[in-house]
Structure 1
Amino acid sequence: MRTVLTTVADLAVLLFAVTSMLSVGLTHSARQILGPLRDLWAVARALLANFVLVPLLALGIVRLWPLDRPLEAGLILVAMSAGAPFLIKLSEVARSDVALSATLLVLLLPVTVLYAPIAVPRVLPEAEVSAGALAVPLVLTMLLPLAAGLLLNSRWPDPARRWGPVARRVSTLALVLIVLATTLANIPTIVTLFAEGAIVPAMLVVAGAFVIGYLLGGRDRDARAVLGLGTSQRNIAAATVMATQGFVDNDTVVMVIVTSLTGFALLFPVAAVLRRRERVPAA
Structure 2
Amino acid sequence: MTVTQLLSITFQVSVAATVFAAGLGATRSDVEYLVRRPRLLLVSLLAMFVVMPVVALAIELYFDFPHAARVALVVIALSPIPQLLPRTTMASGGHLSYSYGLAFAVSALSIVIVPALTQFLGRVMGRPFGVEPGTIATAIVTTVLLPLAAGMIVQRLAPGFAARANEPISRLANLLMLVAIVVLLVLVFPSVLKVATLGTLLAMSLFIAAGLLIGHVLGGPDRDHSIVLAIACANRNPGIAIGIAAANFPKESFAATVILYAVLIGIVTKPYVNWQKRRLVASEPAPQGG
Instruction: Please name the residue that 2:249 is paired with.
Output: 247
CA distance in 2, matches of 1:230, 1:7: 27
Unaligned runs of 5+ in 1: none
Instruction: Please name the residue that 1:121 is paired with.
Output: 119
Q: Deviations over 1:41-91 (max 9, x none)?
A: 100111110111111111111222123433311110111220211634432
Instruction: Please name the residue that 1:57 is paired with.
Output: 55
Matches within 5 A, 1:99-114: 99-114=97-112
Number of residue pairs matched? Answer: 280
Root-mean-square deviation over aligned CA pairs: 2.1
TM-score (norm 2): 0.88
Instruction: Please name the residue that 2:273 is paired with.
Output: 271
Instruction: Please name the residue that 2:217 is paired with.
Output: 215
Q: Which amino acid aligns with 2:33?
A: G
Change (3 A) 1:36 1:195: closer
Deviation at 1:246, TM superposition (A): 1.8
Change (3 A) 1:201 1:26: same
Q: Deviations over 1:126-163 (max 9, x none)?
A: 22310101111211111111101111111211111111
CA distance in 2, matches of 1:273, 1:186: 33
Instruction: Please name the residue that 1:15 is paired with.
Output: 13
CA distance in 2, matches of 1:158, 1:59: 48
Matches within 5 A, 1:184-263: 184-195=186-197, 197-263=199-265
TM-score (norm 1): 0.90
202-211 or 69-78, larger mean C-alpha shift? 69-78
Q: Deviations over 1:91-131 (max 9, x none)?
A: 25435333321211111112222122112123223223101
Larger RCO: 1 or 2 (CA < 8 Å, sep 6+):
1
Change (3 A) 1:12 1:222: farther
Q: Which amino acid aligns with 1:111?
A: L
**Identity in percent:** 23
120-129 or 204-213, larger mean C-alpha shift? 120-129
Q: Which amino acid aligns with 2:273?
A: A
CA distance in 1, matches of 2:221, 2:169: 32
Q: Between Structure 1 and Structure 2, which shows a larger proportion of helix residues?
A: 1
Indicate conservation of the 8 Å contact 2:111/2:137, yes or no.
yes
Indicate conservation of the 8 Å contact 1:19/1:168, yes or no.
yes
Matches within 5 A, 1:75-90: 75-85=73-83, 87-90=85-88
Indicate conservation of the 8 Å contact 1:94/1:274, yes or no.
yes
SS in 2 for 1:197: helix
SS in 1 for 2:85: helix
Higher radius of gyration, 1 or 2:
2
CA distance in 2, matches of 1:106, 1:113: 12
